Amino acid sequence: MSTAIPTEAAAKLDLQAEARKHLWMHFSRMGSYSETNEIPIITRGEGPYIYDDKGKRYLDGLSGLFCSNVGHGRAELGEAAARQMEELGFFMIWSYAHPRAIELASKLASLAPGDINRVFFTDGGSESVESAVKLARNYHRMRGNGQKMKHIAREVAYHGTTLGALSATGITSLRSQFEPLTPGGCHVPNTNLYRWPEDRESTWAADAIEERILFEGPETVAAVILEPVQNAGGCFVPPDGYFQHVREICDKYDVLLVADEVICAFGRIGHMFGSDRFGMEPDLITIAKGLTSAYQPTRALIASDRVAEPFLEGDASFSHGFTFGGHPVAAAVALANIDILEREDLPGHVLRKEDEFRGMLEGLRDIPIVGDVRGAGFFQAIELVKDQGTKESFNEEESEKLLRGYLSGELYKRGLICRADDRGDPVIQLSPTLVCDTEQFEEIHDVLRPVLTEAAKRMRG
Ligand SMILES: Cc1ncc(COP(=O)(O)O)c(C=O)c1O
């Protein structure tokens, strides 16, 4: 007997009640939902907009979760998936290959910076980071440096949730409930330029990486993992020369540099690879969300020729993999997605429009709660403060009242999906689909201005 729910029956299901009964929502306070506080149910998407089960339209100012780069409802991505399902629905890339995985690997190698040419497919961003951690250890071991097993990441950075990736994540509240984590994760200051101590040199944050390598012992450090623009904490951009200095430090101590581009790649900050925006020269790049604009879940770790080399000789192999890695349907969708990004020059569109988008957000600085506006491309954040002059931030209780007690609900009610986040200091993050233009920037403004003005009043009162 078929257990599939026919569409008609699904339509009759009380989705609210069933979701509250059966759906385990990720990172969600499930107990906060009730008959009067409904779970938002999103049923379809079109371009920069999504619609809920009551037909209400929202501007997707977060691209799903920094994913839907080409926008929603692209039928050609569905067609690419359907064609591939008919041709070859699945085969693995464990000792076999298939055309779509080969084509996608070749395409990614042609787009990635420098000699980053060897593509290892995974199923998730956390898996890509996890794979980078394992590959870095394995690489050094194969070259006779088996003690090199630590990885350095930045405070407040989010690199995923599996135990290895979580050891790179620098958010205490996400780590503490699951300790002990995979050993080896160490953390250094991030590049929050808004809160950068005044007397510090511009190389301070990069120098901190060298100090940490020396503290740990260079013979024990395998990799440094950095996002081109750090998401958690609110779109921290690097100071000038940061990545060049980090590269020199990594070379000096034989440490691999990993660019975690789970968010920054595929046009988000105006380039196919975020590393290119800052002249970052990584040895490994993790990619995920925008690879398929989230129409299919597939991700990858891409390695430089130098890192791949020890694994290509004799009977060597990287003893690591995932059943669905390089899935043909996902690979077909990724190729079609990259084709859209190139054909419509969406990275170029982001570069042409980022000043306008940023300018709109900068225009909100007269609202007393707006402390900082920062980011790159279509990846921007507004840091919220108690006092613009002193930059005093909100305490935990105030932040709870501000974000969960008002902002998140109010922004959603007014039809804007964005992220009100306090994993670092409180911020609102905006990461709209790359098809957004003046009309959507104005819509974002028209929601943010009254909501932030009211938030400022409430927090003062
Ligand atoms: C920079 C970065 N790395 C890793 C991850 C983990 O990706 P996933 O949620 O696909 O496991 C994320 C997710 O947002 C991310 O932003």
Block means of pLDDT (10 residues each) for the chain, 461 residues, are 53 88 96 94 98 97 98 98 98 97 98 98 96 98 97 98 98 96 97 91 94 98 98 97 98 98 98 98 98 96 98 96 98 98 98 98 98 98 97 94 94 97 93 98 98 95 67
Is residue 126 lining ligand 1, measured as CB closer than 6 Å? yes
- This prediction's pTM: 0.96
User: For the chain, where do the domains classified as CATH 3.40.640.10 start and end?
Assistant: 76-343
E-strand ranges in 411-459 read: 416-417, 419-421, 427-430
Atom of ligand 1 nearest to the CA of 66: 14
User: For the chain, where do the domains classified as CATH 3.90.1150.10 start and end?
Assistant: 40-70+345-460
Is residue 170 lining ligand 1, measured as CB closer than 6 Å? no
Ligand 1 centroid to Cα of residue 159, in Å, is 5
Those residues with Cβ within 8 angstroms of residue 305's Cβ, 6 or more apart along the chain or in another chain: 115, 117, 118
CATH entry, 76-343, from 3.30.110.40, 3.40.50.300, 3.40.640.10, 2.60.40.10: 3.40.640.10
Ligand 1 centroid to Cα of residue 70, in Å, is 19
Is residue 129 lining ligand 1, measured as CB closer than 6 Å? yes
Q: Alpha-carbon distance 6 to 236, whole Å?
A: 46
Q: Which of 263, 266, 429 to mutate to test the pocket of ligand 1 (most atoms within 8 A of CB)?
A: 263
Is residue 260 lining ligand 1, measured as CB closer than 6 Å? yes
Is residue 64 lining ligand 1, measured as CB closer than 6 Å? no
Residue type at 67 in one-letter notation: C
Question: For residue 189, is the peptide bond before it cis, meaning its omega torsion is within 30 degrees of 0?
Answer: no
Q: What is the pLDDT of residue 91?
A: 98
Is residue 271 lining ligand 1, measured as CB closer than 6 Å? no
Q: What is the pLDDT of residue 306?
A: 98
Q: What is the pLDDT of residue 200?
A: 87
Contact by Cβ (8 Å): 62, 419: yes
Those residues with Cβ within 8 angstroms of residue 21's Cβ, 6 or more apart along the chain or in another chain: none
Ligand 1 centroid to Cα of residue 345, in Å, is 25
Ligand 1 centroid to Cα of residue 69, in Å, is 15
Q: What is the pLDDT of residue 461?
A: 67
Is residue 287 lining ligand 1, measured as CB closer than 6 Å? no
Furthest-apart CA pair in the chain: how many Å? 71
Atom of ligand 1 nearest to the CA of 127: 11
Q: Alpha-carbon distance 274 to 116, whole Å?
A: 14
Ligand 1 centroid to Cα of residue 62, in Å, is 14
Closest C-alpha residue for ligand 1 atom 3: 159
CATH entry, 40-70+345-460, from 3.40.50.300, 3.30.70.890, 3.90.1150.10, 3.40.710.10: 3.90.1150.10
Check residue 271 and report its DSSP letter: S
